[in-house]
Amino acid sequence: MRSWRSWTSSARASRPRSAANTASPDPGWTLRRRLQLVITIALLPIALVSIVQGVARARLDVTAVRERLVQSARATASGDENLIASAEQILRAVGSLPDVRDISGDCDSILADTLVGVRYFSNLSRIDADGRVVCSAMPLAKGLNVADMAIFQRARKAGALVVSGELKSRVTGQNVIGALLPLRKADGSFNGTVGIALDVHWIDYMLRASTLPRGAVVAVYDRDGKVLASNNMAVAGTIAAAEKQGDFPDGVSRDVADARNVSWHYATAPLSGNAIFLAYAMDADSLFGQTYLHVGLDFFMPIASIALAWAAIWWFTDRQVTQWIFYLRRFAAAYRSGHYALRPDLGGAPSEFQLLGSAFTEMADGIEVRDRRLHESVEMKTTLIKEIHHRVKNNLQIVMSLLSIQANQVKDATAKEALMQAQTRINALALVHRILNELEDQSTLDLKDLMEELCRQIGEGIGAEHVRVEVDVPSRTVSGSMAVAVALFTVEALTNIFKHAFPQERQGVIRVSMAAVDGGRLRLAIADNGIGFVDGEATKSVGSRLIKTFGLQLGGVSQVRSVAGEGTVVELIFPDPDAQPQDAGSPAKA
């Protein structure tokens, strides 16, 4: 008993399979695909929930990022707001002094002393109601008229501090930011202003000295869209221009693209006086990078989970299911070929396949026992059939011997000829049984061998050495009953031909042939080149009646054609037992 692993060659079917067996049915979906579909359906709700949660979290993250951006803008603007608040405190302090308010005494000295030690402010001055600088910390500023400046016109109508955009100082020529605090008389009428000038470069210095996150851009600009200070002037100019068109909204985050088409997200915060603004910006990729990552993971993880599940199913089914299925299929093919001694080796296989392998082993044991019994039964049957054929042949030979003895004792030529004819027919039957007895399969025999042997024995028995018999019959296997009918038909035809076709030892040829004809039929023809006869002369003879009878036994039609002086043809057309049945709808061959 061998295991599969010791059987190096694959089992092959030893017998041909019919077209109906070889046509494989539609296998449908494989187990692997079914499992993948089930797992996908099971994970799909989780994937959808994860995606919905990812979208919701992305929205929350975007909102949180925008709020943090606004908070960062306001926090960054607090330093500049403190600077402007300091300027307002200074203006309120000096504006409350009688000498400064009334423009008397030591107004210039007071203003100059106030700026001692203060680095951010370049000048402090008192402006009367007509816009003329009447006293100043810088003597060169006295006498200047600022009535035409927009900030002074705003201060006339305002009740609180007024801050200008970027201005060029008429005294120092530097860029400054002006702040004016309007003064009122007791009756509420305008009494001029006290003003202070803030050097713009100090704002830029404070901006660059502050600690900013990597990639952050801060821009300080006025209401005219002019950038006062920034750590990235290109981006700052784009933001200032966009804000000027948007009317300077407060606390709102917006998007803008610079000249390089880089997207920036920024928030603004107005400084004191609402004339100067600060924008805090970061590029969108850096700002929303984590958000994009989270959203991508929320979308990717469910898909990755399904893909990993597919891969796991693919690997698992290949290693734990498909491999053993194919292994057992090879055993089924081996058993189909008759190799029942093989046994599956399912070490390492899942327990279910081990149980199936045990069932295969039990099935093979049962089939092997049954096959052995069938072989024994067939051998016994074969032996019995051989014995039957042998005894029939012996009995027929006894009958032939009796007929021969009787023929030798009969003086009447006609009776003697009849006995010899009967002996020839019985000899044909004996020949069929002898051939069947010599074959392994006693139910069928080769028609070619039978016809050659039969023609040889008839020729030798009659002693017609002047006549040559040619046999042209294809090799084909036929049943014993059909062989008997064909043999008897041939015996009658040959004996009649030997008897009548070649008188006075006339030389001649007898040709025995068989070929397929249309309609799934066979044509057996026994033709000679003897003297022939006139049609109708032999139709009432015993031989002719027997030829017709044997033809009917084969389900065919026999015919005898002869022309005087040209020979005779005995023909039998009968159904071919090996012909495939023709479909009703298919046309017959011509």
CB 389 within 8 A of CB 433: yes
Q: Comparing C-alpha atoms, which of 348, 434, 424 is closest to residue 391?
A: 434
What pLDDT score does 13 carry?
38
Q: Three-state DSSP class for 15? A: coil
CA gap 556, 550 in Å, rounded: 9
Mean pLDDT by runs of 10 across the 590 residues of the chain is: 42 42 62 84 85 82 83 84 87 90 87 86 91 91 90 88 87 87 90 90 81 86 84 87 72 77 86 79 79 78 86 85 86 84 84 86 86 85 77 82 83 80 74 66 78 84 82 89 84 83 87 91 91 65 76 87 86 86 46
Place of tokens 């009967």: 422
Give the long-range contacts of residues 198-201, CB within 8 A, separation 24 or more.
198/83, 198/84, 198/87, 198/120, 198/121, 198/122, 199/120, 199/121, 199/122, 199/174, 199/175, 200/166, 200/174, 200/175, 200/176, 200/228, 200/229, 201/174, 201/175
Q: What is the largest CA-CA distance in the chain?
A: 192
Q: Three-state DSSP class for 446? A: strand
Cα of 228 vs its chain's centroid, Å: 62
What pLDDT score does 20 carry?
44
What pLDDT score does 589 carry?
42
Strand partners, 190: 184
CA gap 135, 57 in Å, rounded: 62
CA gap 421, 492 in Å, rounded: 9
CA gap 589, 245 in Å, rounded: 94
What pLDDT score does 584 carry?
44
Strand partners, 575: 521
Place of tokens 């009740």: 159
* Amino acid found at 9: S
